[in-house]
Structure 1
Amino acid sequence: MSLKPIILQQFCFVYKLIIQHDSISFLEENIGEFIRKKRSSQEELINLINEIAKEYINNNENNSFVELEKLKTVYHNLTCLENIENVKTVLIDNDLMIDDMDPNEFLRVVNAFDMPSWNYSNEKKGFIRKLDPLKKINPSKGCINIERFDLVYQRLKRWPGYLKQATGFNKIDNKLPTIKDLRGRTGQMFNIFGMLTLSKEGIYCIEDKDDILKLDLSECVFDGIHAEGNFVIVKGQYCNGQILKVINMENPPLECVDDTRREFGRIDFLGVPTSREDREDEMIKKCEATWKHLFFAIISDVWLDKPETLKNLRKMLRGYQRVKMFPFVFVFIGNFLSEPFLYSDECSMKYRAAFDKLGALIAEFPSIAKSSHFIFVPGNNDFNFNGILPQRQISDLYTARLKRKLPNAVFASNPCRIKYCSQELVVFREDIIHKFKRYSVEPSKLQNDQDCLEKKVIKNLLQQSHLNPLSSSLNSIAWDYDHTLRLYPVPDVLILADKYQNYSFDIPIASNFIEDSLNNNNNNDNNKCHCLNPSGFSSSGYKWMVYYPALKKSELCELPTRGL
């Protein structure tokens, strides 16, 4: 089988790339060797070439000329063909190999500042990778809202209820017109998508890429919770004076991970190598299900300057040691002091001493110190917080002694991501529910309606595909790191450490593909997000939560009143 015509067809005619003889020869030699060993079909061959071309475009978005060295880098990063394929085959064909696997190899902590930036391109109908923020010349503050708009809108356009439909005579019924499309159509009903903003006069408006429109919310029925800075869909009548009399406001529908992968493939949003084949996914999930004894202990607001906190931490560790059940991972979430960190010699000494005491305390239990992983996520009262998200990890200046005693300790950013087997866990320390209660379109209603408030807020975050989807006037986000707060694709677990009461529940996500719904695929673990809040350890009666990845369930723990 000659590969040159297929390579030229895909690179030149499908992806509009210019590829020369040396690059074609490289692909012919390497891909040819691969398909001979694997005995791949022509369809598998075309899929492989397509994936290489897509990855090249994503990594070299402004260059249509295929350079050999860059192509080699893309090829080897994408495939690692011979060795990886052999390992996959052995692992999947021989279940006994799972017993020899080490779960520690499947755990990764991803700091926010290490995550690659992927933005949706309307021109290429896919995601393209942005440059490293440090290499940029122009600031990107004005791009944040546009990038978030495109991210949510591309998801919304695929939802069946908002697709364009042909109405005959070559006319198209656009179910989501732009604000400019409303001109001259007074008295008609429309669905409009855009960002909810508040004018200087205190009037709510909806804003898209081209225009802004005032809203009359006097008769509006709110479906869910909404705040300034959210992207919403409003339905109403266009009236004189460029005002939309709204009868309904709702958030964009959610999209499950399976639908995202079906549309875009396996994009590495975290910067962590992931499986690119279904059979490797099966192997990882087998390992995940086999390790039922592994669990995460999640503890928030650990005030290390309080003797009572250290006393109860010792009780907790003693309890785990007594039953010989050691958490696979301890996730310690700030704040780590009962008072805000101040940049003074006295406070710095106090902060360093607090972590020294914690390291010495955990070292009293050698089995736990040696076998468990320890992840530390700062809070808004901790070192390195200047009011801007994401927040950098706590400096080695304060944690060096603890790290020497705990070799498996990792100090992460806020937010951070934990990749374990097939699951992505997002950890975020922010009092977000309090913000929504304060800045919601209907704050008075929220103050009186406490029933399932946390579910409404968490669902809003997932629908907005963002951890802090409020207006820039209400919170500060580093311009070039806004992508680190995104929730797209939807994570498997969202750990939102909040001062609010503890909770644990699943957010179900329906597939927008009819065949999936008919096959009841909504019971798939990919079609839900497990959400939890451990509340405060030091501030809420010394409680914490444990999460079981094999079961995708969590439970609340507290110290017994007697014993230990």
Structure 2
Amino acid sequence: VKSSIIDKEAVHQVVSLLLDAEAAEEESPSSSHSSIRVVDAFLIPKFRYDPIKKHFFQHAGSLPIHGEASAKAALYRDRLLLLFQRVSRDQHFIKPAFDTDVDTSPSCQLSTIQSLVGQRGRRWVMGVISQLEDGHFYLEDLTAAVEIDFSKAISFDLIAYYLEKRAVNDMFVILSDIWLDNEQKVMEKLETVLNGFENVEIVPSLFVFMGDFCSHPCNLSFHSFSSLRSQFGKLGRMIEAHPRLKEQSKFLFIPGPNDIGPSTVLPRCALPKYLTEELQKHVPNAIFSSNPCRVKFYTQEMVFFRQDLLYRMRHSCLIPPSTEETDDPFEHIVLGDRSEQKAFKYTGITCFNPGSFSDDSTFVAYRPCTQEVEFSAL
């Protein structure tokens, strides 16, 4: 009789198979590309699950910029329904068609929390962990909520953790303020940076170029769009002249606060195709994402945000900033600011500013395996 319980030996066998597959792909230049995912704020389709008809339907029409008061509750409700239907389709949670099948194929049928009242024995429930009271956690579904104890809880992501720790050679290079119209101060030094990484033994997995990409604000008085387009093409030819970087590295472009866009409202959409299509011809691995955007690397989730926050906050500051800690779901935050380089830990989150490449030729090399931030400058 097959058991539905997974023991330690079975887990180690699965991990060993995955590690062997990962080792077999290490010789391929694109092996690290599959571990990096860029999440654009505007390219995520919105689907909802209908529990009555039991099918998905895509949201039609435009989404409002400012959500209503019920939007937050709807977010968690839709997420719960999405995961609930997925678990319910698993063979271990499907209700047997006939009572005679119970003995031969044990079922772990999900029950609602409200149905636990007056019941004994083992029951399988699914819900959202919420903190309805300070210091007290509850498991909540659409019917009721029950308090839970986390004192003996164990949480781990074993497979992704092993794969992440094996990626000792992965490195992200982050540069901010790449003024393409500044030939002597910026472009020549950028070529020096690319030359240096072209000659290393293992090239970086990801280059992150954050705006602004022009020394002049791209507002209504800016009319040099054709010139900026050709400068992006020149950057593409510069990257193409480094064959190892072109083939083995990804290039992520994030617009700055003064780059061209429909508005200055956050999140800002990616750079328009008119400016970037020449660069895309020379660099197929180029990715143009929103500001801010997320980059997922195995178990880590990094947020890249380009905005002159320090100047804005200090300019409008009436009371000194608070040092009170707050909860945040992200593990790493990259704040592209024109202020000096800085790295610090805040509530366990790694935050760092790569500095301004156009002002003082500073940038950052980040190693996700060890979570080390290396400040660099020319």
TM-score in same-fold range (> 0.5): yes
Alignment partner of 2:278: what SS? helix
Match of 1:104 in 2: 33
User: Deviation of residue 342 (structure 1)?
Assistant: 3.8
CA contact (8 A) 1:428 1:497 kept: yes
CA contact (8 A) 2:230 2:278 kept: no
Structure 2 unmatched runs, 5+: 26-30, 49-55, 77-128, 139-149
Match of 2:68 in 1: 143
CA contact (8 A) 2:191 2:238 kept: yes
The 3 A distance-change label for structure 1 pair 115 and 438 is: farther
Supply the distance in 2 between the matched residues of 1:329 and 1:495 (Cα, whole angstroms): 14
Alignment partner of 1:387: what SS? coil
Give the counterpart of 2:341 among 492, 496, 502.
502
CA contact (8 A) 1:295 1:546 kept: yes
Alignment partner of 2:281: what SS? helix
Match of 1:542 in 2: 361
Supply the distance in 2 between the matched residues of 1:494 and 1:390 (Cα, whole angstroms): 15
The 3 A distance-change label for structure 1 pair 397 and 135 is: closer
Match of 2:98 in 1: none
CA contact (8 A) 1:328 1:371 kept: yes
2:277 counterpart of 1:400 = yes
Task: Write the mapping of 1:339-418 to structure 2, written as runs, cut at 5 A.
Answer: 339-342=216-219, 346-418=223-295
Give the counterpart of 2:15 among 64, 89, 92.
92
CA contact (8 A) 1:504 1:555 kept: no
User: Deviation of residue 158 (structure 1)?
Assistant: 4.8
Match of 1:302 in 2: 178
Alignment partner of 2:178: what SS? coil
Alignment partner of 2:42: what SS? helix
What is the RMSD of the two structures over their aligned residues, measured on CA atoms? 3.5
Alignment partner of 1:376: what SS? strand
Supply the distance in 1 between the matched residues of 2:266 and 2:280 (Cα, whole angstroms): 25
Task: Write the mapping of 1:158-169 to structure 2, written as runs, cut at 5 A.
Answer: 158-160=133-135
Supply the distance in 2 between the matched residues of 1:131 and 1:156 (Cα, whole angstroms): 31
Supply the distance in 1 between the matched residues of 2:318 and 2:132 (Cα, whole angstroms): 25
Match of 1:134 in 2: 61
The TM-score with structure 1 as length reference comes to 0.47
Match of 1:182 in 2: none
Supply the distance in 1 between the matched residues of 2:352 and 2:60 (Cα, whole angstroms): 32
CA contact (8 A) 2:130 2:137 kept: no
Structure 1 unmatched runs, 5+: 1-35, 45-86, 120-128, 165-258, 263-276, 447-452, 466-486, 509-527, 560-564
Deviations 1:239-259 (A, max 9, x none): xxxxxxxxxxxxxxxxxxxx9
Supply the distance in 2 between the matched residues of 1:506 and 1:388 (Cα, whole angstroms): 28
User: Deviation of residue 115 (structure 1)?
Assistant: 3.6
CA contact (8 A) 2:47 2:59 kept: no
Identical-residue share of aligned pairs (%) = 27
The one-letter code sitting in structure 2 at the alignment partner of 1:114 is L
Deviations 1:119-153 (A, max 9, x none): 9xxxxxxxxx99747366xx5736269749x99xx
User: Deviation of residue 548 (structure 1)?
Assistant: 0.5
Supply the distance in 2 between the matched residues of 1:434 and 1:143 (Cα, whole angstroms): 31
Give the counterpart of 2:372 among 526, 543, 553.
553
Alignment partner of 1:112: what SS? coil
Task: Write the mapping of 1:105-254 to structure 2, written as runs, cut at 5 A.
Answer: 105-115=34-44, 132=59, 134=61, 139=64, 141=66, 143=68, 147=72, 157-160=132-135
Alignment partner of 2:61: what SS? helix
The 3 A distance-change label for structure 1 pair 381 and 296 is: same
Alignment partner of 2:234: what SS? helix
The 3 A distance-change label for structure 1 pair 284 and 317 is: same
2:311 counterpart of 1:491 = no
Supply the distance in 2 between the matched residues of 1:304 and 1:111 (Cα, whole angstroms): 24
User: Deviation of residue 405 (structure 1)?
Assistant: 1.0
Alignment partner of 1:368: what SS? helix
User: Deviation of residue 116 (structure 1)?
Assistant: 6.1
Supply the distance in 1 between the matched residues of 2:268 and 2:57 (Cα, whole angstroms): 21
The TM-score with structure 2 as length reference comes to 0.68
User: Deviation of residue 118 (structure 1)?
Assistant: 10
Alignment partner of 2:215: what SS? coil
Alignment partner of 2:277: what SS? helix
The 3 A distance-change label for structure 1 pair 332 and 130 is: farther
The 3 A distance-change label for structure 1 pair 290 and 350 is: same
Supply the distance in 1 between the matched residues of 2:178 and 2:43 (Cα, whole angstroms): 26
Supply the distance in 1 between the matched residues of 2:137 and 2:40 (Cα, whole angstroms): 37
Match of 2:168 in 1: 292
Deviations 1:393-429 (A, max 9, x none): 1112111121111111000011111111111111111
User: Deviation of residue 552 (structure 1)?
Assistant: 1.2
Give the counterpart of 1:337 among 189, 193, 214.
214
- Bigger proportion of residues as helix: 1
User: Deviation of residue 507 (structure 1)?
Assistant: 2.0
Match of 2:204 in 1: 327
CA contact (8 A) 1:501 1:533 kept: yes
The one-letter code sitting in structure 2 at the alignment partner of 1:496 is L
The one-letter code sitting in structure 2 at the alignment partner of 1:289 is K
User: Deviation of residue 322 (structure 1)?
Assistant: 2.9
Match of 1:437 in 2: 314
The 3 A distance-change label for structure 1 pair 340 and 290 is: same
The one-letter code sitting in structure 2 at the alignment partner of 1:427 is F
The 3 A distance-change label for structure 1 pair 369 and 284 is: same
User: Deviation of residue 506 (structure 1)?
Assistant: 1.9
